[in-house]
Amino acid sequence: MTSATNKRDLRTGRSVWVDSPGLGVPTRPLRAALSVDVAVVGAGISGAFTARELARDHSVAVLDRRAPLMGSTMASTALLQWEIDLPLTALGGRIGIAKARRAYARSWSAVQALKRIVEDDRIPCGLAERRSLYLAGDEYGHRALKTEAEARAAMDLPSEYLDGPACGKGSA
């Protein structure tokens, strides 16, 4: 049977996650029909979280055409950022500030939820919080960064604009 999904080699080398302690999902080949409430197709992180939520009150099977964790999840750098690729102000210019704020708020709460899952399920993945630092450049100069920091702070997202003297004090 051919698949409509393009199957590409996402990894050209050995992923650093391959040797992580505790990694590995018990699997078995599907040799006979299975009756479940929900079949989740794809054993990457999306399938894992979907199955985790649904398994509270449904019987769930996760199916994959490959071995688990062979897709982009294993290829990932595993950097979790609540910041969206487009700054809040730029996104607001494209889709309107109300929608942009909503997108940022949801992205923030998704990362918080993920942190809670790691804690609650005691997942030994070495999750560590880090702050992001944006440097003024050609595309976003210091005024744009200041406006961005203020826009984020206005919706209670942790954000601070550092000017020259503040950077000199090493407060980043």
Ligand X SMILES: Cc1cc2nc3c(=O)[nH]c(=O)nc-3n(C[C@H](O)[C@H](O)[C@H](O)COP(=O)(O)OP(=O)(O)OC[C@H]3O[C@@H](n4cnc5c(N)ncnc54)[C@H](O)[C@@H]3O)c2cc1C
Using CB under 6 A, count the residues that bind ligand X.
Answer: 24
Name, in order, each residue with C-beta under 8 angstroms of 63's C-beta and a sequence gap of 6 or more.
30, 39, 40, 41, 42, 43
The residue from 43, 88, 145, 162 that contacts ligand X (CB under 6 A) is 43
> In this complex, which beta carbon is closest to ligand X, that of residue 97 or of residue 118?
118
Site string for ligand X, 54-93 (x = CB under 6 A): ---------xxxx---xxxx-xxxxxx-------------
> In this complex, which beta carbon is closest to ligand X, that of residue 43 or of residue 162?
43
> In this complex, which beta carbon is closest to ligand X, that of residue 3 or of residue 35?
3
Measured N-to-C along each axis, helices 97-120 and 88-95 cross at an angle, to the nearest 10 degrees, of 130
The residue from 30, 36, 41, 166 that contacts ligand X (CB under 6 A) is 41
> In this complex, which beta carbon is closest to ligand X, that of residue 76 or of residue 147?
76
Residue 162 Cβ vs ligand X, minimum distance, rounded to whole Å: 25
List residues near ligand X by CB under 6 A.
3, 5, 10, 41-47, 63-66, 70-73, 75-80
